[in-house]
Amino acid sequence: MKKLIVILILFAAVILVLTLPLAPETSDTERVIVDHTLGVVVHPVCFEEAGLTNYIDEVSYSNAMENYEYEILGECSEERLQTGRTSILSKIFD
């Protein structure tokens, strides 16, 4: 009986860890493109449609948000560079 209770508690803990919003939506180490002339951040997938100038650089997402404080350009980049937290389970299936 005690083994069953311990197993159920462990199973519930695993389910909670997988479903609670613990992981950041966008990883701090994800690479992004910054345009220093326009003062914007663009996800690499959205580079072609962004219409950036020649003064660009590739940095980590955390560096772009903390040091440059640039705005995210366009819907494409905003969808891929979301702030907030998500569950570990949804990160696994993305």
* pLDDT tens per residue, range 13-41: 888 877 777 666 667 788 999 999 988 99
Is residue 21 helix, strand or coil?
strand
Residue pair 21/89 in contact (Cβ under 8 Å)? The answer is no
Q: Which region holds residue 74: left if phi is over 0, alpha if psi is between -120 and 50, else beta?
A: left
Q: pTM of the entire structure?
A: 0.67
Name the band, by pLDDT with cuts 50, 70 and 90, for residue 66.
Answer: confident
